[in-house]
């Protein structure tokens, strides 16, 4: 037991939880906390904007599997975290967000920089706490980390008023937990296991549909073993990329499915007689027209969150639980010889040959797929890749083959522009020594471009690969397809000089505009020991295809 103030308790509690790195920005109501950080062993990364701090914590979490931590002051500092909290919530990323608050005696008086961050973030967090006394600090921080990382992971907010930070108390370390109604250890229901086994054993055209839950549960190896043993092809969601190696020699990897999915992945789902969905919530961007999705298939849905069962797609059999635990139970229960899938896999191989992922070329100009495939070649597919949101995101998902889990980070549910760059910074701290690249569009990069300065100050070795088409490309594409080429506010009348911006902030900048410049330019950037930016000029008219138009079924794709 040690006497200390509340701010020191917050820091000590973080250290006791095994935290090494936090991302944040100081302000009036967290001065006490930052004073405590001055003497701490914690590695605090001073960001330029609180939203970027939340995305960096998110990126750290997705790469490491451990909760990321961000800190902000009250009022505008706290509200700036909200977009990052919502991003983590929709993608089930564990995060602990610590906010300052005005003194308890001032709450509700509209004091300077007071905002009800608990109320404002309530629909967007897994849980939230407001600490009322210094003696509550350690237990609250411990509970926050437990909730963030157990069950279906998510963000937890801890609001700490200024007088609680200043107040003195006894620091007692305890791991005791006492929750009313929260029992993640009970999230397991395999009562329909026999029905699932029977469907799989008799399936002639089975497909595994792997989502982000496979990666979060550490079930990738189990998934690989299961798919190989029973020769079942694997499709993934956007967040499931890496759950099954996309260059696996078995040929069972069909790639990402959905609105911009690989043709063979979409056709496999639509032609299957049994779909084994693992850790996927059947988002609208993945299923296309839900009434016509896999109409002839029996669907087995495996998910940790029972609320996801039948929420979007009606299932025939469900198994509730952690993906790794359920896969183990499923593998143990599979005793009989199952149907031969050779003909089905040969059919899918033919589909893949007849309908490859489109690779359009542009005379004298760099095609987006050339950037991703060259980057994959140069990094041997081992880089951690983050994406911004828009066309750049979909090109990365289509053309960069991900061979292992936690190496592809993207904002899936919320589609947050500005996520990818700071998320890459968080990833760099989670996996020091590994190549980390951010695929960005010029629109998204501008959302948090100020963090180039942070990269320079800390020499964070993030490589930003900018696919620059001088427009808001994804919206422009929709305007081309659905709004008669009426490009309202998507094409710029001038374009920033991103190389000069990078260099002004202390980051080496490179550019490439012709195909013959691409490889050498990327090699130079990757050789930089610290951060670097590559401005790659691509055609403004380059499209993300295939594309399933809204309202259409997955097998109705536009490829040209």
Alpha-carbon distance of 140 to 478, in angstroms, equals 46
pLDDT of residue 354: 96
- If 0-12 CB within 10 Å is exposed, 13-18 middle and 19+ buried, where does residue 218 land? middle
Q: Is 551 exposed, middle or buried (0-12, 13-18, 19+ CB in 10 A)?
A: exposed
Q: Which helix (H) or strand (E) holds 441?
A: strand 436-441
Work out whether strand 384-387 and strand 436-441 pair parallel, antiparallel, or are unpaired.
parallel
Q: Kindly give, in sequence order, each residue whose CB lies less than 8 Å from that of residue 474, ignoring residues fewer than 6 positions away.
A: 389, 390, 391, 394, 441, 544
Pick from 328, 332, 326, 300: which is nearest to 313 by CA? 300
CA 151 vs CA 187, 192, 316, 317, 548: distances in Å: 7, 21, 24, 21, 33
Q: Give dist(CA 116, CA 132) in Å, integer.
A: 15
Q: Where does the pLDDT of residue 398 fall: very low under 50, low under 70, confident under 90, or very high at 90 and above?
A: very high
Give the strands of the sheet with 95-101, arranged side by side: 43-46, 21-24, 68-72, 95-101, 155-161, 127-130
Smallest CA-to-CA distance from 469 within 365, 363, 359 is with 365
- As a whole number, mean pLDDT of residues 383-410 equals 98
- What does the pLDDT average to over 261-269? 98
Nearest to 84 by CA among 424, 411, 442, 439: 411
If pLDDT is split at 50, 70 and 90, which confidence band does 181 have?
Answer: confident
Task: Report CA 547 to chain centroid distance, whole Å.
Answer: 22
| Angstrom distance (rounded) from CA 326 to CA 309 | 15
**DSSP secondary structure letters along 504-515:** HTT--EEEE-SH
Q: Tell me phi and psi for residue 9, to 5 degrees.
A: -65, -40
pTM, 2 dp: 0.97
CB 326 within 8 A of CB 301: no
pLDDT for 162 equals 98
- Token pair recorded at residue 261: 């999915």
| Arithmetic mean of pLDDT, 257-273 | 97
- Lowest mean pLDDT: which of 8-12, 72-76, 225-229, 291-295? 291-295
Q: How far apart are CA 390 and CA 444, in angstroms?
A: 8
- Over residues 70-105, the pLDDT tens digits come to 999 999 999 999 999 999 999 999 999 999 999 999
Confidence at residue 223, expressed as pLDDT on a 0 to 100 scale: 98
307 φ, ψ (degrees, to nearest 5): -65, -20
Tokens 């635990």: give the residue. 325
The closest of 55, 174, 112 to 444, measured between CA atoms, is 55
pLDDT over 80 at 337, yes or no: no
Residue 256, pLDDT above cutoff 80 = yes
Measured in whole angstroms, how far is the alpha carbon of residue 193 from the centre of its chain?
30
Residue of 25, 4, 22 whose CA lies nearest to 14? 22
pLDDT band at 185 (very low <50, low <70, confident <90, very high): confident
Secondary structure percentages of the chain, helix, strand, coil, to 5: 40, 20, 40
Return the structure tokens found at 366.
């760099």
Give percent above pLDDT 90 in the chain.
96
24, β-bridge pairs = 46, 71
pLDDT of amino acid 559: 87
pLDDT at 338 over 90: no
Count of residues in the chain = 560
Residue 300 pLDDT level (bands cut at 50, 70, 90): very high
pLDDT (tens digit, 9 = 90+) per residue, 358-372? Answer: 999 999 999 999 999
pLDDT reading at 304 higher than 90: yes
Per residue in 490-543, pLDDT (tens digit) is 999 999 999 999 999 999 999 999 999 999 999 999 999 999 999 999 999 999
pLDDT score recorded for residue 76? 98
Helix H or strand E segment including 350: helix 342-354
Residue 560 has pLDDT above 90, yes or no: no
Which of the 8 DSSP states describes residue 491?
B
The region, left, alpha or beta by phi > 0 then psi within -120 to 50, assigned to residue 258 is left
Better-predicted residue by pLDDT, 356 or 178: 356
Cβ partners under 8 Å of residue 162, min gap 6? 28, 29, 32, 74, 100, 101, 102, 103
H helix or E strand, kind and range, residue 51: helix 50-64
Give residue-wise pLDDT tens across range 418-469: 999 999 999 999 999 999 999 999 999 999 999 999 999 999 999 999 999 9
């Amino acid at each position: 037991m040690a006497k200390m103030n509340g701010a020191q308790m917050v820091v000590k509690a973080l250290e006791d939880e095994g935290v090494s790195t936090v991302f944040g920005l100081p302000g009036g109501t967290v001065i006490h906390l930052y004073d405590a950080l001055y003497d701490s062993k914690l590695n605090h990364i001073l960001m330029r904007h609180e939203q970027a701090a939340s995305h960096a914590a998110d990126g750290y979490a997705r790469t490491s599997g451990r909760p990321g931590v961000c800190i902000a002051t009250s009022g505008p500092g706290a509200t700036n975290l909200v977009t990052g909290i919502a991003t983590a919530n929709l993608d089930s990323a564990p995060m602990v967000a610590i906010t300052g608050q005005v003194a308890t005696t001032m709450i509700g008086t509209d004091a300077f920089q007071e905002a009800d961050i608990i109320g404002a973030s309530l629909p967007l967090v897994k849980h939230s706490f407001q600490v009322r006394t210094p003696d509550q600090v350690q237990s609250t921080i411990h509970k926050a980390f437990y909730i963030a990382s157990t069950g279906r992971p998510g963000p937890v907010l801890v609001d700490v008023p200024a007088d609680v930070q200043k107040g003195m108390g006894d620091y007692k370390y305890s791991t005791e937990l006492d929750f009313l109604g929260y029992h993640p250890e009970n999230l397991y229901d395999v009562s329909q296991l026999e029905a699932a086994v029977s469907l799989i054993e008799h399936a002639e055209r089975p497909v595994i549909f792997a989502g982000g839950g496979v990666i979060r549960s550490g079930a990738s190896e189990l998934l690989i073993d299961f798919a190989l043993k029973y020769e079942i092809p694997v499709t993934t969601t956007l967040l499931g990329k890496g759950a099954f190696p996309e260059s696996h020699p078995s040929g069972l990897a069909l790639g990402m499915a959905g609105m911009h999915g690989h043709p063979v992945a979409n056709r496999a789902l639509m032609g299957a007689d049994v779909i084994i969905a693992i850790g996927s919530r059947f988002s609208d961007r993945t299923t296309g027209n839900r009434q016509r999705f896999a109409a002839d298939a029996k669907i087995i849905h495996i998910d940790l969150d029972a609320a996801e069962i039948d929420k979007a797609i009606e299932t025939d059999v469900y198994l509730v639980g952690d993906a790794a635990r359920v896969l183990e139970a499923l593998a143990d229960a599979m005793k009989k010889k199952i149907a031969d899938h050779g003909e089905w896999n040969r059919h899918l191989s033919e589909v893949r040959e007849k309908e490859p992922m489109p690779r359009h070329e542009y005379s004298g100009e760099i095609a987006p797929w050339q950037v991703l495939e060259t980057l994959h070649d140069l990094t041997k597919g081992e880089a951690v890749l983050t994406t911004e949101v828009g066309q750049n995101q979909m090109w990365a998902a289509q053309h960069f083959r991900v061979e292992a889990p936690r190496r592809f980070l993207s904002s899936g549910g919320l589609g947050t522009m500005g996520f990818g760059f700071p998320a890459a910074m968080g990833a760099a701290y989670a996996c020091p020594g590994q190549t980390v690249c951010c695929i960005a569009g010029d629109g998204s990069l501008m959302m948090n471009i100020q963090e180039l300065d942070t990269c320079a100050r800390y020499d964070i070795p993030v490589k930003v690969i900018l696919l620059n088409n001088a427009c808001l490309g994804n919206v422009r594409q929709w305007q081309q397809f659905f709004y008669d080429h009426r490009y309202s506010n998507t094409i710029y009348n001038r374009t920033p000089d991103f190389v000069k911006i990078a260099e002004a902030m202390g980051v080496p900048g490179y550019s490439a505009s012709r195909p013959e410049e691409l490889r050498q330019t990327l090699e130079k950037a990757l050789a930089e020991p610290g951060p670097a930016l590559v401005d790659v000029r691509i055609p403004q008219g380059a499209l993300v295809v295939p594309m399933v138009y809204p309202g259409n079924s997955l097998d109705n794709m536009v490829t040209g």
